[in-house]
Amino acid sequence: MIAAVPKSSCCAFVVGAGSLRKGRSALPIARSGLRSGHKYTTMAFDKGITLYTAGTPNGWKANMIVEELKVPYKLHAISLSDNEQKQEWYEKINPNGRIPAIVDHDEGDLPVFESGAVMIHLAEKDPQGTFLPKDTRKKAEVISWLMFQMKWMKRIEERPAIQKAMDIPDKSFVKQYENDPEKKQEMIDGAKKFMGSQK
């Protein structure tokens, strides 16, 4: 059983699946709530999922899939600036103390963490197979591309930008891709070639 979220926790709870704001993601509500310092109270919720996330690229991935699949969910916007993800109650959900994570109430309060794992778990529950085909071959292809995105796209796009913005002394990683744009292009060309061969 997952530990209850402390009432004093600074977080936003929003019911998803379009029930409050039709056609719009719940994430902006959570982000504005965190910016303005509002505190929200917990709601009784025993079906669907609780999504623990923040306004980061990995956090947005989890938010997007619950919105796209119209999964009933409660949003708990984690305050990274307050280090909420490192609190004891949250580390019972995700021992790594990172976002995103979910608790699947339909599966006996099952915790699932890491953006890719959250996406796969929710996609597998979708009877239509919208994002994860039932066919073994196609499913393997989707998972392969998901893993590629998680490992390499973050590595070649996001991390160098962060290092430059934060003026991190070790520039070797940034230079690796600035001085060798062919490496980046090689990966993109390889992906295009693979996609073309699958038609």
Measured between alpha carbons, how far is 172 from 177 in angstroms, rounded to an integer?
Answer: 9
Q: What is the pLDDT of residue 148?
A: 84
pLDDT in tens, the chain (199 residues): 454 554 433 333 344 443 333 333 344 434 433 333 333 333 345 689 999 999 988 899 999 999 999 999 999 999 999 999 999 999 999 999 999 999 999 999 999 999 999 999 999 999 999 999 999 999 999 999 898 888 776 665 555 555 566 565 555 555 555 556 666 666 666 666 655 655 4
Tell me the three state secondary structure of residue 9: coil
Q: What is the pLDDT of residue 20?
A: 31
In angstroms, the CA 74 to CA 82 distance is 21
Q: Given this model, what pLDDT does residue 172 score?
A: 57
Quick one: tokens of 70?
């119209």
Instruction: Note whether 75 and 13 are within 8 A (CB).
Output: yes
For the domain covering 13-125, report its CATH number. 3.40.30.10
Cα(93)–Cα(52) distance, integer angstroms? 9
Asked whether 71 and 95 are in contact (CB, 8 A), the reply is no
Query: Looking at this protein, which amino acid is placed at residue 45?
Result: F
* Pairing outcome for strands 110-113 and 101-104: antiparallel
Q: Would you state the pLDDT for residue 176? A: 56
Sheet with strand 110-113: strands edge to edge: 13-15, 73-77, 49-53, 101-104, 110-113
Query: How many H-runs (helices) and E-runs (strands) does the chain carry?
Result: 8, 5
Q: What pLDDT does 180 receive?
A: 61
What pLDDT is recorded for position 22?
34
* pLDDT score, position 108: 94
Q: What is the pTM of this model?
A: 0.63
DSSP codes joined into one string, 45-91 = --SSEEEEE-SSHHHHHHHHHHHHHT--EEEEE--TTTTGGGSHHHH
Q: 116: burial class by Cβ within 10 Å (0-12, 13-18, 19+)?
A: middle
Q: Is the dihedral of CA 120, 124, 127, 128 positive or negative?
A: positive
Amino acid, res. 181: P
> What burial class does residue 177 get, using C-beta atoms within 10 Å of its C-beta: 0-12 exposed, 13-18 middle, 19+ buried?
middle
Ordered by start, the domain boundaries in the chain are 13-125, 136-197
